[in-house]
Chains A and B, each alone.
Chain A
Amino acid sequence: MRIERRTHRSTGVVAIGIVTALLVMVALGSLLIASTGAPLLASWAAMARGALGSRLAISEVLTRTTPLIFTGLACAVAFRARLWNIGAEGQFYAGALMLAALGSGLLALPAWLLVPALLLASAAAGSVFLLGPALLKRFLNVDDVVTTLLLNFVMALLVSLLLQGPMRDPLSMGWPQSLPVVDEAVLPKLMSQTRLHAGLLIALACAGVVALVEARTSFGLQRRAAGMGPGAARFAGISATRVVVMTALWSGGLAGMAGAVEVMGLRGYVTGDLSPGYGYTGVIVAMLAQLNPLAVAPSAFLVAAVFVGADAMSRASNVPSYIADVMVGLSLFVMLGTSFLIGYRVKR
């Protein structure tokens, strides 16, 4: 028996693959629910209601989708050029810190200027954090997975250092946090009485830009060529260094913006636990979207829906909300498995 690559990926096979994936997910999820003794159908219903069943629910899902779109895009952009950015978590905080530093009164600008300026600065902060590992990889062949991962922890310590020290809000009681940002930097709400803020629109706009650049610009073509065929790219005269640097700036920038938007839209200040792992989940979101920028937003929405739905399910029945983590983790493997089956065929 041998495994051979398929020459044609017919839509039929792909469709079967997606349906199989969904069925497997439902089956595994049901297993988990059943193991706790909770009623199956009622739990699934609670999850569906909790995620999509009301205005409030959808707004909550969309709120949690926003940072995931940013980090998902950051990872997709990087991975497509074979730059393994696992550091989106650290870049997230870099952007948040930069926002807090500049946005709590340092820059006196009207809102329509302040917000873009802050976004740009936060993006720059995120980029800087990724540029180091990217250049180390390009010129010294140092593994980017480990360097970006380790920088996450450096960043976490840096956040703790700054929040306990120079950036601490003296008026805060309890946990250390930064000074709140000025009113001009707060993003307006999209739906009243919910947490949903205009950051979602910025995120979707970014998704659109990324998709457009990747598909339509010469830069996007060069990136894909450099990522998928480095030898041919070199032969055609595409500069690998330029591609790496631009990719690092772009990916780090998107992750930095994730942090900034989260502060500007939700909290208004930075705390040590601002991100419940958005950077890492971004990797999963990007992989589930098969690195396609257009698929990142729906993928982020699905992942966020699972988490919000699981919260609701845990309140309605005895199923712990961590079922979301398990399901999202499993979905990754289901996706890897089905994409393998779609791409390959077993031959006798």
Chain B
Amino acid sequence: MTDPATPAVPALELVGITKRFGDMVANRDISLQLQRGEILGLLGENGAGKTTLINILFGHYVSDSGRIRIFGTDLPPGSPRAAIAAGIGLVHQHFTLAPNLSVLDNIMAGTESLWRAASRTRQARERLRALSAQFGLAVDPDARVANLSVGQRQRVEILKSLYRDARILVLDEPTAVLTPGESAVLFETLQRMAGHGLSVILISHKLDEVLRVADRVAILRRGELVGEHAASSLDRARLAELMVGRRVLRPQRRPMAPGAAVLRLDKVDTASTHGGPGLAQADLVVHEHETVAVVGVAGNGQHALMELACGLAAPHAGTLEITGRTVRRPRAGGQHARGVARIPEDRHEEGVVGDLAIWENAILEDLAEPRFVRYGWVRRRAARAHARELIRDFDIRCTGPEQRTRMLSGGNMQKLIIGRGLSTGPQLIVACQPVRGLDEGAIAEVHARLLAARDRGAGILLVTEDLDEALALADRIVVVQRGRLSRPLAAPDFDAARIGLMMLGEQEFDMTRHEN
């Protein structure tokens, strides 16, 4: 720990870091300090700006303004090499290990001068052995990374930084991929490191763990630093509230009586996807005239649910009914014709083809419609007219139906996607993170459209990480955690703090099967 007699030069100092990507501000004027031997927890929901900040620190990105000082010396921006030399080690969320190379190779690469005639493998091995023993991180140096478990790979990532004499270790969501047992071991290791004088920044969603191991916590929300507190001074409920926060008033929904079921999951199991675990024994019903929001931290099974509801996957077990039809095989193409409007999570990768014209994207889901395609021929006039209607009805700012879709701003692209889905008066709307990355004005518009559709009779399945959005729009809220869906909470019973804790895995939830 720090010696009271010496002046405390902070190990790390961030001053006024700001970073924009186009219109979006990822980090706004963030100033932060980290002392020697201190463990700082950096909290915030997805999109709050944590990963951007860390990437700036490590030199993957360059900030628009602001400075970084390591032990009093300015850090040259934009150079991972400089960051490493200054003693920063980053354990990336998505590991930067080459699966085809061995553990030792991955750790040694770049550590010796490239002009050396022979690698000092023996010495490296020794050093690695010593570090493993010192910090309790056992690895087999000759194992191929592809054969390692996730927990083992993380150990290698950490050892990479320790091998390079990191004095500041940053871990980005380290426990997202670990079992509780592995997490406990990790935290022991972190405390050991802090005892050796290392400073640690721990980025995590999991409040319990962060509070257990961190000395202080800093909270980011929407790119800004909203609080810095000693860990012991906070209780969990207050922390959850700080993280999800209060926002601008959104269109109010009026209560309506739900109608027939438009989406039904009955004891559904699905396979895991690259986005996270599959669903396990999931029950869910969405009725007409209602919005059901499924909230949870990213990577808890939302992706599997989304693929299911959008017709891209079929359940392994259990029954799935979409607009009254039982789904046994995936059929993404026919969904719109069957009365399902879909808003995908990533509008650039899944929603539109950027290089196609607006009118082409407008009919992309409807290529089997005789209205737009007759005998294999595209009816351009009808398609363009349709696009013009969408542009008018949904206020899409563009130069016309011929414009290339990649030119649209995020909000307008989202309006196009929503518009093409809603234009046929669907029975079910599946919306995944519909307002991610949009500005306040666009958010309000999108929400207004969704509420209007619900009033007209659609049922909405809203999958979101934004609790605020769920609270504003939903008639019922379901929490998803590790592939399990909770019992739905009805609108009058919404308790933001409690739901927040359920999302973060703090509070066990009721999984009993719900009626109708």
The total number of A-B Cβ pairs within 8 Å is 73
Contact check, B367 vs A232: say whether CB atoms are below 8 A apart: no
**A47-69 contact mask (Cβ, 8 Å, vs B): 1 or 0:** 00000000000000000000000
Interface size on A, residues (CB 8 A): 22
- Of A221, A222, A238, chain B has the most CB atoms within 10 Å of the CB of A221
| Partner of A237 from B334, B355, B380 at Cβ < 8 Å | B334
B64 near A: Cβ within 8 Å? no
Contact check, A237 vs B373: say whether CB atoms are below 8 A apart: no
A225 near B: Cβ within 8 Å? yes
Which chain A residue lies CB-closest to B404?
A9
Which chain B residue lies CB-closest to A222?
B367
A214 to B60 alpha-carbon distance, docked (Å): 41
> Which of chain B's residues 363-386 have a Cβ closer than 8 Å to chain A?
364-365, 367, 373, 376-378, 380
**B346-374 contact mask (Cβ, 8 Å, vs A): 1 or 0:** 10011111111000100011010000010
- CB proximity of A220 to chain B, nearest CB, Å: 8
- CB proximity of A334 to chain B, nearest CB, Å: 23
- CB proximity of B370 to chain A, nearest CB, Å: 11
| Partner of A235 from B312, B367, B380 at Cβ < 8 Å | B312
Contact check, B335 vs A229: say whether CB atoms are below 8 A apart: no
Contact check, B312 vs A225: say whether CB atoms are below 8 A apart: no
A116 near B: Cβ within 8 Å? no
Contact check, B355 vs A231: say whether CB atoms are below 8 A apart: no
Contact check, A236 vs B364: say whether CB atoms are below 8 A apart: yes
Chain A residues within an 8 Å CB radius of B364: 221, 225, 232, 236
* CB contact under 8 A between A217 and B378, given known A222-B367, A237-B333, A237-B334: yes
- CB proximity of B345 to chain A, nearest CB, Å: 10
> Which of chain A's residues 212-238 have a Cβ closer than 8 Å to chain B?
216-222, 224-225, 228-229, 231-238
Contact check, B365 vs A216: say whether CB atoms are below 8 A apart: no
Contact check, A232 vs B353: say whether CB atoms are below 8 A apart: yes
Contact check, A235 vs B356: say whether CB atoms are below 8 A apart: no
**B318-336 contact mask (Cβ, 8 Å, vs A): 1 or 0:** 0000000000000111110
Which chain B residue lies CB-closest to A7?
B407
Interface residue tally of chain B, by bracket?
20 to 34
| Partner of B332 from A218, A220, A224, A235 at Cβ < 8 Å | A235
- CB proximity of A292 to chain B, nearest CB, Å: 13
B310 near A: Cβ within 8 Å? yes
| Partner of B354 from A219, A229, A239 at Cβ < 8 Å | A229
* CB contact under 8 A between A235 and B376, given known A222-B367, A225-B364, A229-B355: no
A216 to B379 alpha-carbon distance, docked (Å): 8
Contact check, A218 vs B376: say whether CB atoms are below 8 A apart: yes
Which chain A residue lies CB-closest to B351?
A232
Chain B residues within an 8 Å CB radius of A225: 353, 356, 360, 364
Contact check, B333 vs A218: say whether CB atoms are below 8 A apart: no
Chain B residues within an 8 Å CB radius of A236: 332-333, 364-365, 367
* CB contact under 8 A between A235 and B310, given known A216-B378, A221-B360, A229-B354: yes
A218 to B364 alpha-carbon distance, docked (Å): 9
A222 to B342 alpha-carbon distance, docked (Å): 19
B89 near A: Cβ within 8 Å? no
Contact check, A232 vs B355: say whether CB atoms are below 8 A apart: no
* CB contact under 8 A between A221 and B351, given known A235-B310, A236-B333, A237-B331: no
Which chain B residue lies CB-closest to A226?
B353
Chain A residues within an 8 Å CB radius of B354: 228-229
A220 to B311 alpha-carbon distance, docked (Å): 24
* CB contact under 8 A between A229 and B352, given known A216-B377, A219-B376: yes
A235 to B344 alpha-carbon distance, docked (Å): 8
Contact check, A218 vs B353: say whether CB atoms are below 8 A apart: no
Which chain A residue lies CB-closest to B361?
A232
Contact check, A229 vs B373: say whether CB atoms are below 8 A apart: no
* CB contact under 8 A between A234 and B360, given known A221-B367, A225-B353: no
> Which of chain B's residues 390-417 have a Cβ closer than 8 Å to chain A?
407
Chain B residues within an 8 Å CB radius of A233: 353
| Partner of A229 from B356, B367, B378 at Cβ < 8 Å | B356
Contact check, A237 vs B335: say whether CB atoms are below 8 A apart: yes
Which chain A residue lies CB-closest to B337?
A237
* CB contact under 8 A between A232 and B377, given known A218-B367, A222-B367, A224-B356: no
- CB proximity of A76 to chain B, nearest CB, Å: 16
Contact check, B346 vs A231: say whether CB atoms are below 8 A apart: yes
- CB proximity of B308 to chain A, nearest CB, Å: 14
A236 to B332 alpha-carbon distance, docked (Å): 6
A217 to B476 alpha-carbon distance, docked (Å): 44
- CB proximity of A214 to chain B, nearest CB, Å: 11
Chain A residues within an 8 Å CB radius of B365: 236-237
Chain B residues within an 8 Å CB radius of A238: 333, 367
Which chain A residue lies CB-closest to B380?
A216
Contact check, B333 vs A232: say whether CB atoms are below 8 A apart: no
A224 to B311 alpha-carbon distance, docked (Å): 22
Chain B residues within an 8 Å CB radius of A217: 376-378
Chain B residues within an 8 Å CB radius of A231: 346, 349-350
Chain A residues within an 8 Å CB radius of B310: 235
Chain A residues within an 8 Å CB radius of B373: 218
Contact check, B352 vs A234: say whether CB atoms are below 8 A apart: no
| Partner of A218 from B334, B344, B346, B377 at Cβ < 8 Å | B377
- CB proximity of B413 to chain A, nearest CB, Å: 11
Contact check, A228 vs B332: say whether CB atoms are below 8 A apart: no
Q: A217-B376, A225-B364, A235-B342 are in contact. List 15 more A-B contacts (CB 8 A).
A: A7-B407, A216-B377, A217-B378, A218-B376, A222-B367, A225-B353, A228-B354, A228-B355, A228-B356, A229-B352, A229-B353, A229-B356, A231-B350, A236-B365, A237-B332
List the interface of chain B (C-beta within 8 A of A).
310-312, 331-335, 342, 344, 346, 349-356, 360, 364-365, 367, 373, 376-378, 380, 407
Q: 10 closest pairs, A vs B, by CB?
A: A237-B333, A229-B353, A237-B332, A231-B349, A235-B350, A228-B355, A218-B373, A236-B364, A232-B353, A231-B350
19 A-B contacts (beta carbon < 8 Å): A8-B407, A217-B376, A218-B367, A218-B376, A218-B378, A221-B356, A224-B356, A228-B354, A229-B355, A231-B346, A232-B351, A232-B352, A232-B353, A233-B353, A235-B310, A235-B342, A235-B350, A236-B333, A236-B364
